[in-house]
Each structure stands twice: as structure tokens, then as C-alpha cells.
Chain A
Amino acid sequence: MAKTRRELQPINAGSMADISFLLLIFFLVASTMDVDTGLSRLLPPMPEENQKDDQSEIRERNVFVVLINKDDQLFVEKEVVEISELKDLTKDFIMNPEDKPNLSEKRLESIDYFGDIMVSKGVISLQNDIGTSYGKYIEVQNELAAAVNELRNALCLQKFGVRFEDLDPLNENENAVIEAIKKVIPMAISEAEPKKIGGN
């Protein structure tokens, strides 16, 4: 008796690899792998029209004026400084360890984990000219951020024995610590409304 049913032939899968290679190469070419990195900042909301300017309430010694002019020169409290000095000047201003009268004042606050602690009232005022280059501006922003981060790191190491950067914001307890440290050493950078400074 002859065979009536033919056996099913197996599908030739030899070219499967080629096809998937093709797809793979397509996705390799069409995709971007780079993770975006940078400095995160929060802009202040637009002031309400009838809102009064409350800048006058901050005393002069509590304001740390950082100014970049159109030639990318850096002025801190009206004196020319190098960018390498900025970080230490900022740290001194915020902490004011010797309670100098020209640096920032402190007020007593009670914060979780720390109890009653002196918190600086200092505000960094960052001003720039229209002609300032963006690269310089970011460099200064970076130095200011570095100063604050170093202070936070030092505080965190002293109090908890870990670096501030190593705390995990997704962990509830550690996030509470992060928030507390942020309150003790706030990053108060205020940017002036854009204006022209010095020459044209």
C-alpha cells in the first residue's frame, strides 16, 4: 500500500540568523543609547503682577553676589576672583564657621534627625550679562553646586558615616535623611532678572 499522507517537511530555518541580523543592525543604527545627563535646576515661578518685590527683606550680608560680566570675568562680592577660588568662598559663606560679620547669618531651626541646628540664611545671587558665554555660566553653576554638595557630603559623613551622594532617594528612610540634609544646607541660588552690566 502506497503512502497517502506525505510527511511535513521541516521549515528551513537556515536564513533565520540572517534576517535577525538585519533587524539587529537596523535597531543599532536607528537607536540612541546615550543617557541624558546634566545639572538639574528649578526655575522660580513667574511673579504675580500685584506681588511686591520681597528682595529688600534679605539683609545685605546674607547675599553672596556672584557676577559674570560679558568678558566672562567672575566677580564675587565686587572683587575679581578666579573660578578655582569660587568653591571655597561659597563654602565659607554658607557655613561661616568663625561668625564673621560680613558672611551669612544663621538661625536656629529644628529639623528631623538633627534636632536644633543652626541653618544659614545665606542666598547666592547669580547674575550674568547678556554677553556672558553659556559655558562659563555652567562652569559657575557647577562650582556652586559642588560647594553645596561637598558641604552636604561632609555633614552626612559626620552624622551618618555615609556620603550624601550614596543615599538612595527611592528608599523611604534614606529619602527622609536626604530631605533633612537639604534643609540644613539649602541650595539657595537666586538668579536676577536678566540685565546689562558694564559697557556694551
Chain B
Amino acid sequence: MSRFKPGKKKTLPPIQTSSLPDCIFLLLFFFMVTSVLRQTNIKVMIHTPEVTEIKKLEKKSLVSYILVGRPQPQLQAIYGTEPRIQLNDAFATTDDIRDFISSEREQMDEIEQKQMTVSLRIDKDTKMGVVSDIKQELRKASALKINYSARRSYAGKK
């Protein structure tokens, strides 16, 4: 009988929050470890093509990026609407690629230099003329491992 005494309301104990900082720190460390800081400001618009035979790129530190696409709308007044090449933070021409590759290479260990990969992030509406020029420059710079950046398409996969 005494269990159902009407007047005695149980008050909920306050939730223990003393371990909250620990939880947040855990999350924080997770993100710190898994993330790579955004290094470059992307100044070109890129819609990469979609493919089914996708391969993941391992080891981000060995990858250099070459971006090609139309400049962002706010930059079109200065740089025009034709597809441009972006290396690091600035617009560049094909002549700059060799210097870019050699400076990227210098930042790596000697053993890792052979595994250096160049990822080509190219807008799908770009003409192949530009792409061929870049590939020729990469051959001259003997950066032969390349990766055509693309997204996974689920349409054609069985």
C-alpha cells in the first residue's frame, strides 16, 4: 500500500554531466585524427564526371592536385569564363606545371617520391585540348602516376 502513496512525488535526479567534456574530447580527437585541413581555396567550379570503376586514393600526403574548370562566378569578371588551371592557391598556365611538380616533389621523402600521384580534378565540360596539354607536361616532368578524379556512379553497376 505504501508504494502508491499519492502525495509523494519522485523528483528526477539531474543528469550527470561531469563526463560530458570527456565525450566531447573524444569526438574532438576523432575529428582531429581523421581530418585533413583544407589547404586551398578552390577558385574554379568543378563537377567531376561519374564513373563505376572507382578506385580510392590512399595516402593523401602523396597526392598533389591540379584543378581545372571555369572560374567561380565572382572571379569571372577578372579571369573570364574559359576553363583555367589552378595550382595550389593561384591560377596558372601549363608552363607552371613543371615547377609545381618539382616543388611538390621536394616536400616529400626520397622514398615516397616514386609513389607521388597527381590527381586531376577536372570539370567534365572541359575540352580535352587542355587536358592533353597537362598530361604532356606531366610526362615531361615524369610525374607518371595520375588519377582522374571522379565520383562513384551507381547507375551502371550490376
Contacts and interface: CB of A to CB of B under 8 A. Distances in A.
Prevailing SS type, chain B contact patch: mixed
A140 B60 CA distance: 27
Interface stretch (A36-44, A59-67, A108-116, A174-182): A36-44
Contact of B31 (A27, A133, A149): A27
Interface residues of A, number: 42
Interface SS of chain A: mixed
Contacts, number: 153
B69 to A, nearest CB: 10
Contact of A43 (B38, B127, B138): B138
Give the contact-size bracket for chain B: 35 or more
Contacts of B136: 194
A133 B147 contact: no
A17 B100 CA distance: 43
Interface in A35-74: 35-46
Given A31-B37, A40-B145, A149 B53 contact: yes
B1 interface: no
Interface stretch (A93-101, A123-131, A154-162): A123-131
Given A27-B32, A32-B35, A133-B127, A40 B139 contact: no
B130 to A, nearest CB: 8
Interface in B81-126: 117, 119, 122-126
6 contacts: A41-B146, A129-B128, A131-B127, A133-B126, A142-B53, A145-B53
Interface of B: 17-18, 20-21, 24-25, 27-28, 31-32, 34-38, 48-49, 51-57, 60, 63, 117, 119, 122-129, 131-133, 135-136, 138-140, 142, 144-152, 156
